[in-house]
Structure 1
Amino acid sequence: MRPTTKDLAKAAGVSLATVDRVLNGRSGVRQKTVDAVNEAITRIGFERNQVAATLARQRGYRFGFVVPRSGDEFLSVIIKHISEFDQASRAEMIQTKIVRIDEHDPHRAARTLSRLSASEYDGIAIMAPETPQIRDALYRMRERGIQTVAIVSNQQEEDGQSFVGIDNVAAGATAGRLMARFLGTQSGDILVLAETMQSRDSLERRLGFDRIMSPGYPQFHALPTLETHGYPERTKLVLENAFAAHPDIVGLYIMGSEARLAIECARKLNPDKKLITIAHERTPSTEQALRDNTLDALINQDPGHIVRSAIRTLRAKCENRETLASQERIRIEILISENL
């Protein structure tokens, strides 16, 4: 027989009511008591019956996914998986809702976040640039009792359960190694493109990329990162100016999650020149680019896994328990035309 809450209360030396408050993360319990209950959980091997706990709440969980207002194919894939999960999880008493924010205006984004209430949401998964305004808004959200987790691009470093996504430093280093191997004996400049360097995923990918390229391959010069902000006109202008100013460009690394515009512009600007091109995230456009040899390699993370893991992580936070690390680890996938 597995231990019950009565066994846990006895082992911790507290009342059943106190155990209930600790398990549900309610206020009014001293930290010393919380520590005693958590220690007893580990000591006696207590495992909470989550189905019974959810039923006892008399309502399910309500989770929101905060995503940018603008975006292209990768964002569409993320939203598709959120909608699929919402339909499939009704039997588990879990509801998901999509909240759009203006990622180009951090003050407006923070105001949107400030309007999210604990009476409407138990937890929020956010995909957004890291700015002081958004960080502060997330901090105040947690003060209101809403659990938070960042997806794709990190926002916070409180604990191991605050981010769902790949190791972006390792992803950038992978891109660097692939770039150098594909270029072989060539030498020249490498153009690095991002939507915004306010996104920590791009910052970390650039760090990993430089860790490989700078010391290991001196024949290549990785140019300063250029930002497109996701605008077609700016993407075209940035690439035109870069290719005009640097005729020795031999490689293109697209760090952002939306690569379609950059791939199309680079192809039009260099119809007769083969650039070694590395990008992130599997979308219809990046798949096609791999097939027609415009793209050489794709570094991918499973968006469906990200959505499911974010839900499991938020639920675990609401229930004051740890997640299974091996289940939530998002793996880096390397795709080429032959293994699509």
Structure 2
Amino acid sequence: MRPTVHDIAAKAGVSLATVDRVLNGRPGVRAVTRARVEEAIERLGYVRDVAAANLAKGRVYPLVFIIPEGENPFMRGLEAEARLAATRSSLERTRIAIVHIPPFGAGALVTAIDAAIADGVAGIAAVAVDAPAVAAAIGRARAAGIAFVTLVSDLAVSVRDHFCGVDNVAAGRTAGSLMARFLGARPGPVAVLAGSMLVRDHRERLEGFCAVMADAGGARRVLDVLEGQDDPERARALVGECLAVHPELAGIYSLGAGNAGLIAALEATGRSDVCVIAHELTEPTRAGLESGLVDAVLNQDAGHEVRSAVRVLRAKADGLPVIAEQERIRIDIFIKENLPPPLDDTGSARTAEA
């Protein structure tokens, strides 16, 4: 039977109020008495249920989600899921704030992290930019006792507590395998459209994709990466120029956002023969699948990632273990034939009439 605070009080010869003060680190206990209580705790092997204690005290966890601003549809979906989580926050003993920063901005991310530290939050979730200054800021958060999870793009060299996202190398390999199967023996190089190589998820996807292209793709040539900064207009210009310079282009792997621009470039040039593999089921990629300009979309569940981040941050604040299998984010593959119904503004599937 597990020892209780009553056992500690009896063993140390003190009141329950004194035990409570020692357990919570509050003043008003003489050093000799505190030492006696701590010795009783050690001898009895008492392990405090922090979660239960926090629940009893009605503790609320202030959490911050740091999300890039801009036109990236997936990031806007991630923000929508964070806002949805905020509406449930009172039931989950959390208070969720959302902070916007420029996309791919390491300096802005550092500033946002330091501001959250100064506010004394319990946990931070952020889409990471791979930069030493960001890793150092995460270190400052952890040193302050603040739990930290990375979203979508990881920063494994940091001391973050957990990564909420897919295995991006595996995602890139999956895209490469699909590209190789769709193209078969058809000749021609493939292009890669990225947002920025400053983020780890884009580099890891490229790594996985190129590895498969060098093997299953029959050593198919992969052109230099087009960095569209997740900007549809920039992506449209880059893809349009690539199609003009490489009329023999066989495929395009879009491993970031800016897909509205990609599809616009294909429509403008009439190139429906190019195999296109993209990421995230958003309005542009859904339209591309339906029109036949996009062959397959690899998707990650933004809602699962946000819910996972909240669970992990709360568990870390309570000193509880994380259930790894529950937090594993899967990679879904969509083609035209298995598209799920689109969602309305409430997150429900639209009816056929809608």
| Amino acid across the alignment from 2:276 | T
- Residues 18/212 of structure 1: CA separation in 2 closer, same or farther (3 Å cut): farther
* 1:258 Cα offset (Å): 4.7
Question: Which residue number in structure 2 is paired with residue 89 of structure 1?
Answer: 89
Larger RCO (CA under 8 A, 6+ residues apart): 1
Q: Where do 1:24-35 residues align within 5 Å?
A: none
Question: Which residue number in structure 1 is paired with residue 311 of structure 2?
Answer: 312
Question: Which residue number in structure 2 is paired with residue 299 of structure 1?
Answer: 298
Q: Does the CA contact (< 8 Å) of 2:298 and 2:334 recur in 1?
A: yes
Counterpart-to-counterpart distance in 2, 1:191 and 1:9: 67
Contiguous gaps of at least 5 residues in structure 2: 10-17, 26-37, 340-354
CA offset digits 1:224-256 (Å, max 9, x no partner): 211011234422332232222222211010001
CA offset digits 1:46-84 (Å, max 9, x no partner): 79373442332x431111100112232111111111111
Question: Which residue number in structure 2 is paired with residue 184 of structure 1?
Answer: 184
- Residues 183/146 of structure 1: CA separation in 2 closer, same or farther (3 Å cut): same
Task: Please tell me whether residue 228 in structure 1 is matched to residue 231 in structure 2.
Answer: no
Counterpart-to-counterpart distance in 2, 1:50 and 1:118: 24
| Amino acid across the alignment from 2:262 | A
- Residues 69/9 of structure 1: CA separation in 2 closer, same or farther (3 Å cut): farther
| Amino acid across the alignment from 1:124 | I
Aligned residue for 2:221, secondary structure, equals strand
Task: Please tell me whether residue 274 in structure 1 is matched to residue 283 in structure 2.
Answer: no
Task: Please tell me whether residue 154 in structure 1 is matched to residue 154 in structure 2.
Answer: yes
Question: Which residue number in structure 2 is paired with residue 199 of structure 1?
Answer: 199
Q: Where do 1:1-340 residues align within 5 Å?
A: 3=2, 5-6=4-5, 20=23, 48=49, 50-56=51-57, 58-117=58-117, 119-157=119-157, 161-218=161-218, 220-269=220-269, 271-340=270-339
Contiguous gaps of at least 5 residues in structure 1: 23-32
Identity of aligned residues (%): 34
* 1:5 Cα offset (Å): 5.0
Instruction: Indicate the RMSD between aligned Cα atoms, in angstroms.
Output: 2.9
Q: Does the CA contact (< 8 Å) of 2:104 and 2:199 recur in 1?
A: no
* 1:184 Cα offset (Å): 1.7
CA offset digits 1:208-228 (Å, max 9, x no partner): 111211022225211121101
| Amino acid across the alignment from 1:110 | V
- Residues 165/7 of structure 1: CA separation in 2 closer, same or farther (3 Å cut): farther
* 1:277 Cα offset (Å): 0.5
CA offset digits 1:260-306 (Å, max 9, x no partner): 3222223323x144111001111122122111111111111111100
- Residues 257/272 of structure 1: CA separation in 2 closer, same or farther (3 Å cut): closer
Aligned residue for 2:205, secondary structure, equals helix
- Residues 134/71 of structure 1: CA separation in 2 closer, same or farther (3 Å cut): farther
Counterpart-to-counterpart distance in 1, 2:271 and 2:257: 26
* 1:128 Cα offset (Å): 3.5
Counterpart-to-counterpart distance in 2, 1:132 and 1:100: 21
More off after superposition, 69-78 vs 293-302: 69-78
- Residues 93/213 of structure 1: CA separation in 2 closer, same or farther (3 Å cut): same
Q: Does the CA contact (< 8 Å) of 1:154 and 1:163 recur in 2?
A: yes
Counterpart-to-counterpart distance in 2, 1:105 and 1:319: 31
Counterpart-to-counterpart distance in 1, 2:279 and 2:147: 29
Aligned residue for 1:92, secondary structure, equals coil
Q: How many positions carry a matched residue from both structures?
A: 316
TM-score w.r.t. structure 2 length? Answer: 0.80
TM-score w.r.t. structure 1 length? Answer: 0.83
Counterpart-to-counterpart distance in 1, 2:131 and 2:257: 18
Counterpart-to-counterpart distance in 1, 2:204 and 2:232: 24
Q: Does the CA contact (< 8 Å) of 1:118 and 1:145 recur in 2?
A: no
Aligned residue for 2:298, secondary structure, equals strand
CA offset digits 1:168-222 (Å, max 9, x no partner): 0000000000001111220111000100011111111111111211022225211
- Residues 4/206 of structure 1: CA separation in 2 closer, same or farther (3 Å cut): farther
